[in-house]
């Protein structure tokens, strides 16, 4: 007995790889999983970036936000002249931002990438207390 395809042009393997065993997944939601811990007066941020090289990753500090961006393109090395039956390799850009405060400077952040994990270490700086004083507007 043959199960009809979901749409024209879909082959045998399309239905096979849709089974719960293989499951179609959204890999972008699983990327960049991050753990943040506080230790010895520092914050340690460990971010999963498997499959990326150090050159694919950029970290930027701007307006109190630490933004990590990873970009991977298919490129010539990954081109194939055959038809893929199933492909899970990621090609694209992913990005996450964390508010770290205005007091943190770029030179305060130490970064290392090893075994698919980006580690950023930066000091835990005290929050600047904003003194709230009532300021009245003169009414003429």
State whether CATH 1.10.10.10 applies to domain 32-123: no
58/77 Cα distance (integer angstroms) = 22
Taking residues 108-123, report their average pLDDT: 95
How is the chain split into domains, by residue range? Answer: 32-123
* Token pair of 117 as six digits: 């994990």
Identify the H or E element spanning 120.
Answer: strand 117-123
Instruction: Read off the pLDDT of residues 85-99 as tens digits, 9 standing for 90 and up.
Output: 777 776 788 899 999
Whole-model pTM?
A: 0.63
What's the chain's average pLDDT? 76
β-pair partners for 47: 34, 118
Per cent of the chain over pLDDT 70 is: 64
């Amino acid at each position: 007995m043959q199960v009809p395809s979901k749409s024209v042009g879909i082959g045998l393997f399309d239905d096979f790889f849709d089974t719960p065993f293989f499951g179609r997944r959204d890999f972008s939601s699983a990327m960049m999983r991050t753990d943040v811990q506080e230790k010895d007066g520092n914050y340690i941020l460990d971010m999963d970036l498997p499959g990326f090289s150090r050159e694919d990753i950029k970290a930027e500090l701007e307006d109190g936000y630490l933004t990590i961006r990873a970009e991977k393109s298919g490129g010539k090395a990954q081109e194939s002249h055959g038809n893929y039956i199933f492909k899970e390799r990621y090609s694209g850009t992913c990005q996450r931002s964390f508010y770290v405060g205005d007091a943190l400077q770029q030179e305060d952040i130490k970064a290392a990438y090893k075994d698919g994990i980006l580690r950023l270490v930066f000091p835990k700086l005290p929050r600047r207390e904003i003194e709230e004083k009532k300021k009245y507007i003169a009414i003429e």
